Structure 1
Amino acid sequence: MNSYSPVVAPHARPDYDRTLLWLVILLLGFGLVMVYSSSIAISAADKHTGFQESYYLVRQGVFLGIGTLFGLFAFQVPNKVLQEIAPYLFLSGLLLLVLVLIPGIGREVNGSRRWLSLVVINLQPSEFMKLFAVLYAADYTVRKAAYMDSIKKGFMPMFMVMLLVGGLLLREPDFGAFAVITSIAMAILFLGGMNWRLFAGLIAMLVVGFLVLIWTSPYRMQRIIGFMDPWADPYGKGYQLSHALIAFGRGEWYGVGLGASVEKLFYLPEAHTDFLLAVIAEELGLAGVTVVILMFVWLTVRAFSIGRQAAGIDRHFAALVAYGIGVWLAVQAIINMGVNMGLLPTKGLTLPLLSFGGSAVVANCTAIGVLMRADWENRQVMKGYSV
């Protein structure tokens, strides 16, 4: 008696990007390990943590769980729905940025007002605004595709919107988030077909604007001075950078060993957030840093590959969203790494998917869910299904 069994192709193409998924899992898992390693000393000595060594590990684990849920939810939302609600998400992001600036509502930490207290956790709207900016810029570019050569109808509306966002972010102040969101918007407009002369003019205007912001702000000027020569004032303006450079120097080729960092022992501020890469450099050396860089390079390549594939089948919104997410994660990683290595002035930007931080991790995981959805829909369209 013969029994029937379905024949399954041994190398059937999966409906999702396995490489991208495993790459993100590796980044999140590695980040969890390094957050624990870099935060043991400060959490064990801080009364606000209850002197618990695993305080930041547990919180980061909870954030990863919430981020995973947000990512799974984002994966279920069709790109066409995201395009429809993109303007409303952007407006909600603007509202949150306004609320942050209202005394009594926004929470101030170290002179910056960037958080909204949600009792158990603090929400940082600028992290979600990066994703909302990706979606809005992509939707705007698709809707205004016929006017990308026009200053009045194509360029100025987006410029005014970004000017409003920039004004709110600089009031916090959060210059780093402003730089990332500006990069996202510029990249999407350019990839969406903006006239190269207009784009060159925009670049020139932004360079002048950034120089003016630095020149007219004493604290930003001090950061530039500290960046140029951190050893001139190693206990003041150059403190963070000098200790980050010491961590890189101690790590040499293969590091001093996981958990054996000295700089994380109350020398390097924000070791588990902004300067996590310095701890990675000290404990795992040039080898560890190189692996991190290569993972981000591959993540960016995959995002752009998904975008190029979407553009090839006339899914222009999905293509621009994928490009925007790739630019976001790449630019923020480059800025964070540049700061840690002394190549850029100190900025309050975390290393995506790796550093400690609830809002950042959840926003990053949500963005990955959106990117995975774009790839999934590409595969469905190529198989002849409608999405």
Structure 2
Amino acid sequence: MMARVLAPYHNLRLNLSQLSDRQYVLLSAGFLFCIGLIMVGSASMGVADANYGNPFYFFTRHLIYLAIGLVAAAVVSQVPMATWNRYSYWLFLAALVLIILVLVPGIGRRVNGSMRWIGIAGLTIQPSELVKFAGVLAMAAYLWRRQDEVRSRWMGFVKPMAFVSLTVGLLLAEPDFGASMVIVMALMVMLFLAGAPLMLYLMISCGLLLVGVLIMIAEPYRMKRLMAFTDPWADQYNSGYQLVQSLIAFGRGDWFGVGLGQSVQKLFYLPEAHTDFVFAVYAEEFGLMGVMILLVAMITLVMTGLRIGQRAECAGQVFSGYVAYGLSVTIGIQAAVNLGVNTGLFPTKGLTLPLVSYGGSSLVMMFVVLAVLLRIDAEASEPNERAVSRQGGTHDYR
């Protein structure tokens, strides 16, 4: 009798074990995109109605961004990894130019005290999202070309840190400390995976940590956030307001949540409820059980991306492997920071939750990232000789 009851669950376990990496990526990403659409609609209704007279303003725009992202993914999925390898430095240079344009008066747009956006044809573009993607491609191309140098010589490690420093410097000028942190951490992980000398890696990491601390204490508003992070209730109506309201949302959610659309914190209590703090609203409406499901989906996506990278590297597609590692780590780090900010583990940062939060640039680039991961998966599944040839493994694009 018990065997008959458990039979469907046994079959489910077998079916899950038979899913390919491509299917895991599509299922986990599709779930997160759906959750994002639902939560953006739920969390933004009040502010959209108050500011635009249309409760579905952000929901509609989110749908449009999803459609644009699908088109972008369809196009990007047709681009061979050899092409990304060949033009990775040029793409990175273009991304840096966009970052510089953000800082030019009259071109960059200031929102909440930061110059992080460019207005083009009625759309607002955030170049830092492109920099994350282009930075991973450029680092992967460098590691593919100079792998032996990175593993054996100090200069092989120091040279890529020069362009990392340039990128971070431009982002901090906006200022965008959150994006800078994600990029530095992701590229450092890529260097570690490439086999950089451990002692040098630890020295550079400690140096970067020290620089991060100095940057944190150099700006009064960052110190204010740090103090609010350590004890948000001490100034719950000022510097600690966001974190306090976020924690209240988690407390209200309890085990199973208050129900979809029933959040109170999104009603002008929690700032940025549909962007940086959408996870808190989700926790309030779906509770701890919903949070666990979302975490499983996010972890599945990141781990599958890392597995795709490992398979590509084992197939001789070194550049593709590093790209998959870098993109997966970037998603994981940004998600971890956003979740940490929402739960009070990290000081407040202006970072969205990948695939879930509202934001056109972030959403479209997430589709591009997923398309590249799926392309890597497809090429890694081809016979080794053909895949390596298509990637440019027999040529040196120095």
Same-fold call, TM cutoff 0.5:
yes
Secondary structure of residue in 1 paired with 2:119: strand
Secondary structure of residue in 1 paired with 2:115: strand
Structure 2 residue aligned with 1:350 = 352
- In 1, the alpha carbon distance for the partners of 2:79 and 2:199 equals 36
Structure 2 residue aligned with 1:38 = 43
- In 1, the alpha carbon distance for the partners of 2:234 and 2:155 equals 50
- In 2, the alpha carbon distance for the partners of 1:96 and 1:216 equals 26
Structure 2: 5+ residue stretches without partners: 1-17, 391-398
Once the 2 structures are TM-superposed, how far is the Cα of residue 216 of structure 1 from its aligned partner?
1.5
1:18 aligns with 2:23: yes
Aligned residues of 1:94 and 1:165 also touching (Cα < 8 A) = yes
- Residues 299 and 75 of structure 1, relative CA distance in 2, 3 Å threshold: same
Secondary structure of residue in 1 paired with 2:49: helix
1:28 aligns with 2:30: no
Once the 2 structures are TM-superposed, how far is the Cα of residue 218 of structure 1 from its aligned partner?
1.1
Once the 2 structures are TM-superposed, how far is the Cα of residue 19 of structure 1 from its aligned partner?
2.0
Structure 2 residue aligned with 1:239 = 241
Q: Return the match for 1:226 from 205, 225, 228.
A: 228
Secondary structure of residue in 2 paired with 1:122: strand
- In 1, the alpha carbon distance for the partners of 2:21 and 2:265 equals 41
- In 2, the alpha carbon distance for the partners of 1:240 and 1:231 equals 11
Once the 2 structures are TM-superposed, how far is the Cα of residue 120 of structure 1 from its aligned partner?
2.1
Secondary structure of residue in 2 paired with 1:173: coil
- Residues 314 and 382 of structure 1, relative CA distance in 2, 3 Å threshold: closer
Secondary structure of residue in 2 paired with 1:108: strand
Aligned residues of 2:243 and 2:342 also touching (Cα < 8 A) = yes
1:168 aligns with 2:173: no
Once the 2 structures are TM-superposed, how far is the Cα of residue 150 of structure 1 from its aligned partner?
5.1
Amino acid at match of 2:57: Y
Structure 1 residue aligned with 2:268 = 266
Structure 2 residue aligned with 1:5 = none
Aligned residues of 2:21 and 2:308 also touching (Cα < 8 A) = no
- In 2, the alpha carbon distance for the partners of 1:273 and 1:153 equals 40
Structure 2 residue aligned with 1:71 = 73
Secondary structure of residue in 1 paired with 2:104: coil
- Residues 343 and 16 of structure 1, relative CA distance in 2, 3 Å threshold: closer
Please show how residues 96-135 of structure 1 align to structure 2 within 5 Å: 96-135=98-137
Structure 1 residue aligned with 2:183 = 181
Aligned residues of 1:16 and 1:376 also touching (Cα < 8 A) = no
Which has the larger displacement, 23-32 or 255-264?
Answer: 23-32
Aligned residues: 372
TM-score (norm 2): 0.91
1:305 aligns with 2:307: yes
Structure 1: 5+ residue stretches without partners: 1-12
Aligned residues of 1:322 and 1:371 also touching (Cα < 8 A) = yes
Amino acid at match of 1:336: N
Aligned residues of 1:311 and 1:319 also touching (Cα < 8 A) = yes
Secondary structure of residue in 1 paired with 2:383: helix
Amino acid at match of 2:361: S
Aligned residues of 2:229 and 2:344 also touching (Cα < 8 A) = yes
- Residues 31 and 383 of structure 1, relative CA distance in 2, 3 Å threshold: farther
Amino acid at match of 1:234: Q
Once the 2 structures are TM-superposed, how far is the Cα of residue 153 of structure 1 from its aligned partner?
2.9
Aligned residues of 1:133 and 1:184 also touching (Cα < 8 A) = no
The alignment's C-alpha RMSD in Å is 1.5
1:362 aligns with 2:367: no
Please show how residues 258-337 of structure 1 align to structure 2 within 5 Å: 258-337=260-339
Secondary structure of residue in 2 paired with 1:71: helix
Secondary structure of residue in 1 paired with 2:110: strand
Q: Deviations over 1:274-295 (max 9, x none)?
A: 0000000100000111111111
Once the 2 structures are TM-superposed, how far is the Cα of residue 338 of structure 1 from its aligned partner?
0.1
Once the 2 structures are TM-superposed, how far is the Cα of residue 152 of structure 1 from its aligned partner?
4.9
Once the 2 structures are TM-superposed, how far is the Cα of residue 151 of structure 1 from its aligned partner?
5.2
Secondary structure of residue in 2 paired with 1:317: helix
Amino acid at match of 2:345: L
Aligned residues of 2:151 and 2:194 also touching (Cα < 8 A) = no
- In 1, the alpha carbon distance for the partners of 2:138 and 2:73 equals 19
1:87 aligns with 2:92: no
- In 2, the alpha carbon distance for the partners of 1:374 and 1:384 equals 13
Once the 2 structures are TM-superposed, how far is the Cα of residue 381 of structure 1 from its aligned partner?
2.5
Once the 2 structures are TM-superposed, how far is the Cα of residue 136 of structure 1 from its aligned partner?
0.6
Amino acid at match of 2:300: W
Secondary structure of residue in 2 paired with 1:116: strand
Q: Deviations over 1:84-140 (max 9, x none)?
A: 010000000000000000111100011100000013210000011110011011001
Amino acid at match of 2:191: L
